[in-house]
Structure 1
Amino acid sequence: MDKTRQKIIDATMNLIMEKGYASMTTKDIAKYARVNESTLFRKFKNKKDIVLCAMEENWHPHLSSDDFYPISGDLYHDLCHFACVYMSKVTPQFVKISIGLRSPELFDDTAEGIMKVPQVFKEVLIQYFLEMQKLDKIIQTDIESLAVAFLSMMFGFVFLKASFDNQLMTVSQESYIKNSVAVFVKGIEKV
């Protein structure tokens, strides 16, 4: 990839995290990227074009159901693995960017891309929980609610880290995953 183009993309996405899409200008982007504004317009049509290119190329966590496999059939082990995969992709940086991309000027163009990650995770969880129900390893319950509860538990941790860093909680990601998954499994596991 063209280094100047990448500098512009990186500057744009960093500014989105710092000030939001609506508050930044192409002048801000050029200054942050240390390029002339005319260079920015030679590489991209406008600031919206920069964001859309960034999402397609390298500023999106691109999560697929294959990322979660293989599974072992052990609830605790599999759900810890799922949480680790999810949190390796959905980082505090991604959360900050996704919040910045919810600007009304962008939302129609970015909503689908932002929603892909939780949709993939939710679908993987639904399929997994359905299989565990068939194997009589978990209680009979509404599977979508179960999937959304687990997704929310993992997203909540990342969102709080993105919002407050370590000011609100000192628990490490690894400890959070182990402890929260243990509690979750205890609530759904068939005994």
Structure 2
Amino acid sequence: CTLFRKFKNKKDIVLSGIAQEKWRANITPELFQNVVWELQPDLEMFMTAYMDRITPDFVNLSIGLRAPQLYDETAPMIMKVPQAFISSLIEYFEKMEQLGKIGHMDFESLAMTIFSSTFGYTFLKSSFHQELTSLDREQFIKNSVAVFLNGISER
């Protein structure tokens, strides 16, 4: 009874909760500024920085925030995380091209590939822990970046 004097409904409780600092991942472009302009360590840094901030609690909360009755109001907050990661990575690839370290490519597709891999691992580890894979985070990051940079076909 007392709870609903302060909040009109469950939706208001959730929206109030996500306003608290501990429920925000705080992923901003500034998080990805520590680059050395070398693909391997930089891509590993991007993935590690994301995984440092996206905790299992945050993953579970963001799943709940996708509920139809909440989604219209929570979508902008949810979208900030991938938007910061993807836009920062696109800017990084553009700068690497300007520095002559990579050729011109579809940088948005490259960024989406790295993000999808990073998000997928984080989501699945949060959901299934060691039941799905025994790969630890560092091993996954190193292997993913190696595949991204070198491909899988024999040369």
| TM-score relative to the length of structure 1 | 0.74
User: What do residues 128-153 of structure 1 show as CA deviations (whole Å, max 9, x unaligned)?
Assistant: 01111122212321010001001001
Q: For 2:84, which of 109, 112, 120 is the aligned residue? A: 120
Unaligned stretches of 5+ residues in structure 1: 1-37
| Segments of 4+ moved more than 4 angstroms | none
- Contact in 2 for aligned 1:54/1:60 (Cα 8 Å): no
Tell me which amino acid in the other structure corresponds to 2:14. V
Q: How big is the shift at 1:154?
A: 0.3
Is it true that 1:91 corresponds to 2:55 in the alignment?
yes
- In the alignment, which residue of structure 1 is the partner of 2:7? 44
Q: Which has the larger radius of gyration?
A: 1
- Contact in 2 for aligned 1:68/1:85 (Cα 8 Å): yes
| Separation (CA, whole Å) in 1 of partners of 2:27 and 2:5 | 31
Q: For 2:28, which of 40, 48, 64 is the aligned residue? A: 64
Is it true that 1:172 corresponds to 2:112 in the alignment?
no
- In the alignment, which residue of structure 1 is the partner of 2:95? 131
| Separation (CA, whole Å) in 1 of partners of 2:134 and 2:14 | 33
Q: How big is the shift at 1:182?
A: 2.0
**Which structure has the higher relative contact order (CA within 8 Å, separation 6+)?**
2
| Separation (CA, whole Å) in 2 of partners of 1:57 and 1:45 | 18
- Contact in 2 for aligned 1:98/1:114 (Cα 8 Å): yes
Tell me which amino acid in the other structure corresponds to 1:64. T
Tell me which amino acid in the other structure corresponds to 1:60. R
- Contact in 2 for aligned 1:84/1:177 (Cα 8 Å): yes
Tell me which amino acid in the other structure corresponds to 2:35. I
Aligned residue pairs, count? 150
Is it true that 1:144 corresponds to 2:108 in the alignment?
yes
User: What do residues 5-47 of structure 1 show as CA deviations (whole Å, max 9, x unaligned)?
Assistant: xxxxxxxxxxxxxxxxxxxxxxxxxxxxxxxxx2322443322
- Contact in 2 for aligned 1:126/1:147 (Cα 8 Å): yes
Tell me which amino acid in the other structure corresponds to 1:89. R
| Separation (CA, whole Å) in 1 of partners of 2:130 and 2:6 | 38
Is it true that 1:102 corresponds to 2:61 in the alignment?
no
